[in-house]
Amino acid sequence: MKRFLIMALLASSFLSLKAQPPVETLDQETAQSHLADRTCKLTTKSASTLLSASEIDIWTDGEHYYQGLPDGNKYQLFAYNSLDDLSDSPSIDLVGKGMLFQNLTEKGTTVKYMVGGPWKLLVFYNKAGQPVSLFYALHEHKFGWSIPSLDYQTAVNGVYSLKTSNANINEEYRSKAHYTKMVFGENWYIPKAENWEGDYRHNDPGIYTLENDQPNHLLMGFGRYKKVPLPKIPKLEFRVVEGVTYYYADGQLIPKEEYKRYEDMMAPGYGGNAAEGDPASWEIELTLEGLTVHAHPTKYISYSPDFGTEFTLTKDCSAYGFEVPGRWAYASVRPLTRYILSLMPKEALVLMRGEIYARHGDTFRNPETQKYFNAQPWYKKSGKAVVLTDIERLNVALIKAEESRR
């Protein structure tokens, strides 16, 4: 009876979480925390430490969310985003064995519970003892609707240069790099980029909605401007009280229909460069050099210069800015999940792994790899023995595991 009551209570909490999934966004505070702690030591904790923890952790593999529940010497990870009933929900079952967990869901694999800096990790090892994937705990439980995890944002966000376009852009514009720079992101951190003095976050870029329930991203194209005045939009918010949603405009309660009407009118990045009068749909594919984009334009705003609807972007820096150089700087900043690696083209994985060593000034036996890094303006040979951080060593192993899977 006691077990039944516990399960019923947990099921109730899961259903609540299912309606409002937790979100951890790469805002400036989060990014700076990652940057400050990128050289942290990852310490393996005893399995009993997690089994005896008083608070329940929410974990993500970068794509899905799980709630960790200790039960004696068993630790269960329930995928609550697909729950209908707790007792029937998919779970990953771990049994504590000293310093390690034995993974009952996938026989022969083990799991380490590791802690370092802002990270709490569950690192999964195969039968050969090689790390193959990981979960990390969300340390702030933020809630929102249809907002994806930090991992997709980390992979896509950054500063880009326009490489090719299907539009006839005036050569005067093309010759000026600051007219063909673009930025993808969502309230994230880029302190400074070439040809621009200041902080990108304060230049009011416009938001565009990607298809297939992908995250909102900011796109800034220098030289673009708004030709159509936009209506005044109130500050919109909604609150959920005991399962009922209430809608507000400038703090005043309004009907849902009026809220939706304002929401449809709202110009992402309202009032600034690259603002759209209606969300535009962007289809994005990650490439070795950056992104390929197909944009579905709207009827409200025209731009000068017109970049067209099909263009290729070369990545200048990641969402962590130029403080840590390279297209995949996050591989030296934060632990990588299998999901974030699955987004990468196969040929990018080798360079991502090499870039970790190149940031330390290492040299490469493969002449093509060496030639690639020689061409990077930030690369400098150190001539010293390379010492990777704990996060970097873990990421090198995870990238190798993904390369083997391909």
Confidence (pLDDT) at 183: 72
Give tens-digit pLDDT for 170-210: 666 666 544 566 777 655 566 555 444 444 444 333 444 45
Confidence (pLDDT) at 176: 54
Bridge partners for 112 per DSSP: 100, 123
DSSP H or E run through 342: helix 338-342
Three-state SS for 171?
Answer: helix
Confidence (pLDDT) at 175: 61
**Dist CA 201 CA 333 (whole Å):** 20
Confidence (pLDDT) at 13: 35
Low pLDDT (below 50) residues in the chain: 1-22, 82-86, 141-148, 177-178, 194-209, 211-213, 222-230, 266-279
Q: In 82-141, which ranges are continuous DSSP H helix?
A: none
109 residue type, one letter: T
Q: Are 273 and 226 in contact (CB under 8 A)?
A: yes
pTM for the full predicted model:
0.77
Q: Which two tokens stand for residue 3?
A: 């077990």
Q: From 302, 269, 296, 301, select the one nearest 284 (Cα to Cα).
A: 296
Give tens-digit pLDDT for 228-265: 444 566 777 888 888 899 999 888 999 998 887 776 55
Q: Which two tokens stand for residue 257?
A: 């229909």
Length of the chain: 406
> Domains in the chain and their CATH numbers?
2-143 (no CATH), 158-230+267-318 (no CATH), 324-405 (1.20.58.1690)
Q: Are 123 and 136 in contact (CB under 8 A)?
A: no
